[in-house]
Amino acid sequence: MTTRSPGDLFAAAGEGDRSAKARLLSLIERGGDAAREVGRLAAPRAGHAYTIGLTGAPGAGKSTLTSALVSHLRSLGDEVAVLAVDPSSPFTGGAILGDRVRMQDHATDPGVFIRSMATRGHLGGLSLATPEAIRVLDALGHRWIVVETVGVGQVEVEVAGKADTTVVVVNPGWGDSVQAAKAGLMEVADVFAINKADRPGVEDTRRDLQQMLELSAETAGPGSAGWDVPIVGTVGTTGTGIVELWAAITAHREHITDAGVLEQRRRFRLGEELREIVARRLEHRARELCTEERWEELTDGVLSRDIDPWSAADEMLDPVLSFTSGPIGADQQDTTVSATPAGTPAR
Ligand SMILES: Nc1nc2c(ncn2[C@@H]2O[C@H](COP(=O)(O)OP(=O)(O)OP(=O)(O)O)[C@@H](O)[C@H]2O)c(=O)[nH]1
Ligand SMILES: [Mg+2]
């Protein structure tokens, strides 16, 4: 395999080379210096895409619904990228089998880009790789990016909640909405899809969701102000309800755009991402500078109560922190650097 630099890959992908695009996402998946280089190239070009997250229990019909949404968007003449985040499977270097089957209809459509992503072993994992992959797709000109994540596990739900509009997919039947609530999906839902609405129990599920939404509205955070979460019945396999689902998504988009919530959400998300990068890099550096034996010794010390966790952490961090040269930013107002490189249009 020829090794092209991230810069070359970006140029090629920008001209429609799909293998270059796939390669960029592989670099993100793998992490490390190359991923960082890709991230640096993507950031100034990104900021124009709208992300739609689909999440829910395994088998709820997320991929089927995604495929139906893609068909709908294509019928409107729009292009779309799909990122299927798969936390459990090992590296696949492309589509996982189930999605390949369900997304088959779109496989040869140049207006659709589909990619599965697994991040086992990646430092920072899903929570850092997903926004990075989205930024790459955004930088390459995709305006609609659909992200499918399975809604189990704290990290997965967090990732799911980071889309601009998050659709939570449930199924009819007793208990499914309760499961969704337990998984923390009530908090991230901007739209509910009761998929498999060809089965009985849709109205019961709608009522359950409605009740839970009313309860959680009392504790809802800012971002949700004035938005009544719509509940749409869908049959992913036939496309029934897809027009309504898309209408609910675009209504939410308009609502948060008009209310200024979109910018607020994006800033919050970036703040979280930055915090995570700083934490990961600190840990990484601390592990480089503190010997493995000392790290283990301190861990044993905490176990035997010879040292408390805070003092142990201080010692682990000491070689990192002793390099600091004083507070950053406090006395540097005059030298503030613009975050926008020359030649990049303001967003
Ligand atoms: N009856 C019925 N079956 C559906 C519907 N939507 C999806 N299915 C079926 O449900 C099964 C799971 O669908 P997927 O789209 O793979 O579900 P998923 O949520 O992406 O699953 P994972 O990615 O494995 O978590 C498939 O056999 C689909 O054909 C629907 O509206 N009605
Ligand atoms: Mg799926």
What would the pLDDT profile of 15-46 be if each residue is shown by its tens digit?
989 999 999 999 998 888 889 999 999 999 99
Residue nearest to atom 32 of ligand 1 (CA): 196
Asked if pLDDT for residue 257 goes beyond 90, the answer is: yes
Asked if pLDDT for residue 95 goes beyond 50, the answer is: no
Q: How many angstroms is it from 5 CA to the middle of ligand 1?
A: 39
| Residue 347 pLDDT level (bands cut at 50, 70, 90) | very low
Amino acid at 294: R
For residue 239, give the H/E element and its range.
Answer: none
Choose the residue to mutate in 63, 146, 157 for probing ligand 1, maximizing ligand atoms within 8 Å of C-beta. Answer: 63
| Residue 200 pLDDT level (bands cut at 50, 70, 90) | very high
* Residue % of the chain over a pLDDT of 70: 83
Query: Residues enclosing ligand 1, CB less than 6 A?
Result: 58-64, 98, 102, 150, 195-196, 198, 235-237
Residue nearest to atom 21 of ligand 1 (CA): 59
What's the maximum distance between 2 C-alpha atoms anywhere in the chain? 67
Choose the residue to mutate in 55, 62, 64, 65 for probing ligand 1, maximizing ligand atoms within 8 Å of C-beta. Answer: 64
Asked if pLDDT for residue 330 goes beyond 50, the answer is: yes
Residue 86's pLDDT is 72
For residue 94, give the H/E element and its range.
Answer: none
Of 7, 13, 12, the residue nearest 39 (C-alpha): 7
- Residue ranges with CB less than 5 Å from ion ligand 2: 62-63
* Residue % of the chain over a pLDDT of 90: 54
Note the Cα 216 to chain centre separation in Å: 23
| Residue 220 pLDDT level (bands cut at 50, 70, 90) | low
Question: For the range 264-273, what are the long-range contacts, defined as Cβ-Cβ under 8 Å and sequence gap of 24 or more?
Answer: 264/222, 264/223, 265/164, 265/223, 266/164, 268/223, 269/131, 269/162, 273/127, 273/128, 273/131
Residue nearest to atom 25 of ligand 1 (CA): 58
Asked if pLDDT for residue 122 goes beyond 90, the answer is: no
Residue nearest to atom 14 of ligand 1 (CA): 61
